[in-house]
Amino acid sequence: MSPEEFRRQGHAAIDWIADYWAGLDDLPVLSQVAPGAVRRSMPTAPPEEGEPFDALLGDLDEIVLPGLTHWQHPRFFAYFPANSSPAAILGDLISSGIGAQGMIWATSPAVTEVEQVVVDWLAQALGLPEQFRLTDHGRGGGVIQDTASTATFTALLAALHSASGGQARESGVGSTRWTVYGSSQAHSSLVKAAMMAGLGAECVRSVEVDPRTQAMDVTALERLLADDIDDGCRPLFVLAAVGTTSTGAIDDVQAIAEALDGVDAWLHVDAAWAGVAAVCPELRDRLLSGVHLAQSIVTNPHKWMLTTFDCSVLWVQERTALTNALSITPEYLRNPASESGAVVDYRDWHPQLGRRFRALKLWSVLRTYGLAGIRAHIREGVELAAHFADLVVDDDRFELVTERSLSLVVFRLVEGDEATLAAMHRLNESGLAYLSHTVVEGRTAMRLAVGSWRTTRADVDATWAALQAL
Ligand SMILES: *Cc1c(COP(=O)(O)O)cnc(C)c1O
């Protein structure tokens, strides 16, 4: 493809995206294709001779569109929406165009330094405690990772390295009986992290939650810790969830930190979805109180902060905990800047070596919308969810299952589990909207999570009207 052809096709690709967005409202949110249908509509072998790019653009409509669940649809309310935005997409496109591999500072200083600045901007914007910020006199810092799952895994590896006095990376996890804690509502990435770290899923203690709030029962945590210590186990890592995936429950980080007084365990805050809402001062205390006592915190701009997937930010109080656990320098990566200690090499802050210039899309979002624009977006999501929760409360056939958390409403049909699931499936199959489900204290519920900047009150009302009419 010549540079001129690239320019022409690039315009066509952007046009395709803009047209796709313009038509989203009319598409069924949930893909209706049968398993294998997409695969069968494609040739079984790659083309021998190159084709014009137009051919691929044409196939997007024919082959790909029917097989898409439209995550950017204004009535996508399932899971947690992963909202994108024009500003983020352009930043991401430029990152692809630059094509730099920022594994170490020396392989493109701007990739590292722009990232350092934007994750620090985000820390300020959220009101994170000073000690997580990368300052010349401080010991903390932040890094963009692909997902919160990787960030939690990374934090666990750093904890394991620190607690084992460096033994774990040299000779493995050994015979110490490490234990890991999270509430029964903690994200599955915690157990997966323990599996991947070689600790095994069985070392993860599932702490009971308060049945009403679904937040961790800190007394139960204290009991488990005491029992495990009596038993000769070594508590290693505790995950506090700030906004659980199921119901948006918020663990009391301060109380959890106090329960860890005298226990040498790493406290990690998983605020993958809810953390970005701390950009609004009126929500901040609820989300971040006690976070200064944690060793690490993760939040995903790629969920609710307009930043095209993938973009997850991990901050730590001790950046050496990451580098001690993860740095390894083959000869071909030795360079004067790294040896001088004057630069950060982000490859030592996560499992993989290579890294994209992800900071560009976050930079673009922060500059294009400004904090005022981002706050307005978060507040809009919260208001729309509050409006929906009011509608649920006003209809005797429905009930809230937990109190609304930010932009997430968990509700059900009073009639019962089967009726609730059946109504949700009918709504999803209608294509009008897409909700997901969960089980809370043994009862099936639907989840409506607002996140897209495209969602309006009319979208919420239409979804509610459809549910009422089912
Ligand atoms: C979505 C979510 C995760 C996992 O996020 P990924 O970035 O997809 O790994 C972890 N924890 C919570 C609370 C989440 O909501």
d(C-alpha 147, C-alpha 307), whole Å = 13
327 located within any domain: yes
> Judging by beta carbons within 10 Å of its beta carbon (0-12, 13-18, 19+), is residue 35 exposed, middle or buried?
exposed
Q: How many domains does the chain have?
A: 1
84 touches ligand 1 (CB under 6 Å):
no
Residue whose CA lies nearest to ligand 1 atom number 15:
245
| pLDDT value, residue 336 | 86
pLDDT tier at 137 (50, 70, 90 boundaries)? confident
The CATH number for 279's domain is: 3.40.640.10
The residue segments making up the domain with residue 223 are 93-363
Q: For the chain, what percent of residues have pLDDT higher than 90?
A: 94
**Contact by Cβ (8 Å): 139, 130:** no
Assess whether pLDDT exceeds 80 at residue 368.
yes
304 touches ligand 1 (CB under 6 Å):
no
Q: Edge-to-edge, what's the strand order for the sheet holding 266-270?
A: 141-145, 312-316, 296-299, 266-270, 234-241, 178-183, 204-207
Mean pLDDT of 52-81: 95
Q: Which residues pair with 182 in a beta bridge?
A: 206
312 touches ligand 1 (CB under 6 Å):
yes
Long-range Cβ contacts of 41-47 (<8 Å, 24+ apart):
none
Q: Considering only CA atoms, which of 136, 90, 96, 465 is closest in space to residue 306?
A: 90
147 touches ligand 1 (CB under 6 Å):
yes
5 located within any domain: no
110 located within any domain: yes
Ligand 1 atom index nearest CA of 302: 7
158 located within any domain: yes
Ligand 1 atom index nearest CA of 310: 7
Instruction: Give first-to-last CA distance, the chain, whole Å.
Output: 52
Q: For the chain, what percent of residues have pLDDT higher than 70?
A: 100
Residues 169-213 pLDDT 10s: 999 988 999 999 999 999 999 999 999 999 999 999 999 999 999
240 touches ligand 1 (CB under 6 Å):
no
436 touches ligand 1 (CB under 6 Å):
no
**Contact by Cβ (8 Å): 80, 245:** yes
300 touches ligand 1 (CB under 6 Å):
yes
409 located within any domain: no
Assess whether pLDDT exceeds 90 at residue 362.
yes
Cα of 257 to ligand 1 centre, how many Å? 22
245 touches ligand 1 (CB under 6 Å):
yes
pTM comes to: 0.97
Q: Which residues pair with 141 in a beta bridge?
A: 316
Cα of 272 to ligand 1 centre, how many Å? 5
Residues 243-270 pLDDT 10s: 999 999 999 999 999 999 999 999 999 9
Q: Who contacts 51 (Cβ-Cβ below 8 Å, separation ≥6)? A: none
Q: Which residues pair with 408 in a beta bridge?
A: 405, 449
Residues 73-118 pLDDT 10s: 999 999 999 999 999 999 999 999 999 999 999 999 999 999 999 9
* Tokens found for residue 55: 């051919």
Mean pLDDT of 345-355: 96
Q: Edge-to-edge, what's the strand order for the sheet holding 398-400?
A: 398-400, 408-413, 443-449, 436-440
Residues 450-462 pLDDT 10s: 999 999 999 999 9
| pLDDT value, residue 470 | 85
* Tokens found for residue 210: 């308060």
Ligand 1 atom index nearest CA of 300: 7
Cα of 299 to ligand 1 centre, how many Å? 8
Residues 265-303 pLDDT 10s: 999 999 999 999 999 999 999 999 999 999 999 999 999
Looking up tokens 């040299």 gives 170
17 located within any domain: no
